Structure 1
Amino acid sequence: MLRLDPDGSRMGAVIDGAGRHLLDPAHTGRYLWSQLTKGEKTGLGVAVGHRIQRELGLADGLHLDFRVVGHEVDMRFTTGGNWMFPPELQGGLCLLVRADDASGQWSLGLLRVRPELMRTGANRDGKRGLSAQGRSAIHWIHRDLPLPEHALRQLPADVVAAIFAKSSGQARTEELFQQAQLTAITTADLSAVTMQLDGVKRAREARRRLASRGVLILNGTHSRDCEWASALDLPVLAPSIWMSVRLTPAPQHDDSPTITLNGIPWRVARPGDPETPLPTAVLR
């Protein structure tokens, strides 16, 4: 597993992708796993297993989920602190996946399931969770790695409520970029606030409209935007990431990082700086 995914980036993307697929933000406006129905939460583990198998090219198992270097392996998924094991898994190898979008972390471990590692009590199906001894027996492959970030998960609840209070997808997009400045915004965030498949189109329109308020919207697919982000000492922009920042003309003898627009240096605005429309050059 480490050879196939040394830093865990493939697994993290798979887990996040499975969650986004079930949330279906473009049609539902949902952005948190807690918004899934009970049935969808059950399907999340199944979706993660199928996507892991496809992403890493693992062969089907004869009795368990798949094979890893010839070993039959079952996959168990939880968003909590424990997993449930049916009686037929005793003695078998399990890949244990734990993920929680509230904390933004995920882990992957390996365990040989044995009776002495189980709790004494079982549910109606005979499934039992791990005891404290069982949890300590997990061989962790990746532990507490970050899930891909999404702005709507990080923003305060009142800010998110203000965004969704707007009556149109375009208005919600513009509110997102104004409220979440200097925050990485993903296409999933855009889909959720627009509740449309053309969230990127709304972001492009927001770029034009918010420039009149001094807000510059950057996108990592454009080399010029990445150069501007670097010059302003902003976080590196990944190709699919959007970020907004309010700018203001830089006064003389200001040593802040700047970019030059229409021959004038601009820096990141501070709370007391007045709104100054950006030059039309940034819209091209």
Structure 2
Amino acid sequence: MLRLDPDGSRLGSAIDGAGRHLLDPVHTGRYLWSQLAKAEKIGLGTIVCQRIQRELGLADGLQLDFMVAGHEVDVKFTLGGNWMFPPELQGGLCLVVRADDASGLWSLGLLRVSSELMRTGANRDGKRGLSAEGRGAIHWVHRDLPLPEHALRRLPDDVVGAIFAKPSGQARTEELFQQAQLTAITTADLSAITMQADGVKRAREARRRLARRGVLVLNGSLSRDGEWASALGLPVLAPSTWMSVRLVPTQPEHDDNPTITLDDTPWRVARPGDVEAPLPAAALG
């Protein structure tokens, strides 16, 4: 597993993608796993397993989920702190996966299932959870790694409420870029607030509209935007990710802050209290 995914980025993306698939933000506007129905949460484990197998190109197992390095392995997923194991899995190898979008963390470990590692009580299906000793027996491959960031998960509830209170997808997109400046905005965020498949189109339109208020909307897929972000000392944006920042014109001889030049004028990141100034046409390019 470490050879296929040394830093865990592929697995983290697969887990996140499974959650987004069920949330279906284009049609539901949902963005948190806590918004899933009980049946959907149960089904999340199956989709996580399928996405991990597909992402890493693992062959089907004969009895268990798939093959890893010549061994059959089952996958158990939880949104909580424990997993449930059926009697027929005793003696088998299991990849245990846990994830929590509230904390933004996920983990994956390897366990040889045995009755000695289980709690004494079982549910109606005979499944049992791990005892404290069992949890200590997990060999962690990746532990408490960050899930891909989505702005809506991290913004305060009142800010998210103000965004969703806007009457249209375009208005909500513009409110998001104004409220969440210097924050990476993903296509999943845009899909949730617009409830439309063309969330990226709304972001492009927001770029034009917000420029009038001095807000520059950057897109990680554009090399020029990447150069501007770097020159302003902003975080590197991943492809298909967006970020907004308010700028103001400045005089370099009186200001040592990072700047970019737009229409022969240097601009820097605005500070609270700086007077709003519309961006020149060069910012829209």
In the TM superposition, what is the alpha-carbon distance from 1:150 to its structure 2 partner? Answer: 0.3
In the TM superposition, what is the alpha-carbon distance from 1:234 to its structure 2 partner? Answer: 0.2
Partner of 1:109: 109
1:259 maps to amino acid: I
In the TM superposition, what is the alpha-carbon distance from 1:250 to its structure 2 partner? Answer: 1.2
2:271 maps to amino acid: R
Matched, 1:88 2:71: no
CA distance in structure 2 between the partners assigned to 1:23 and 1:212 by the alignment: 34
Aligned partner of residue 145 in structure 1, secondary structure: strand
Partner of 1:151: 151
Partner of 2:255: 254
CA distance in structure 1 between the partners assigned to 2:158 and 2:220 by the alignment: 28
Matched, 1:203 2:216: no
For normalisation by structure 1, the TM-score amounts to 0.99
Partner of 2:167: 167
**1:245-284 superposed Cα distances (whole Å, 9 cap, x missing partner):** 0000113410000000111100000110011000011112
- In structure 2, stretches of 5+ residues that fail to align are none
In the TM superposition, what is the alpha-carbon distance from 1:72 to its structure 2 partner? Answer: 1.2
In the TM superposition, what is the alpha-carbon distance from 1:43 to its structure 2 partner? Answer: 1.0
Identity %: 82
CA RMSD across the alignment: 0.6
CA distance in structure 2 between the partners assigned to 1:69 and 1:184 by the alignment: 37
CA distance in structure 2 between the partners assigned to 1:66 and 1:226 by the alignment: 40
In the TM superposition, what is the alpha-carbon distance from 1:240 to its structure 2 partner? Answer: 1.3
Partner of 2:272: 271
**Which has the higher mean CA deviation after the structures are superposed, 226-235 or 67-76?**
67-76
**Which has the higher mean CA deviation after the structures are superposed, 250-259 or 32-41?**
250-259
Partner of 2:120: 120
CA distance in structure 2 between the partners assigned to 1:226 and 1:65 by the alignment: 42
Partner of 2:134: 134
- In structure 1, stretches of 5+ residues that fail to align are none
For normalisation by structure 2, the TM-score amounts to 0.99
Aligned partner of residue 59 in structure 1, secondary structure: coil
CA distance in structure 1 between the partners assigned to 2:268 and 2:283 by the alignment: 14
Partner of 2:61: 61
The aligned length equals: 284
CA distance in structure 1 between the partners assigned to 2:27 and 2:275 by the alignment: 38
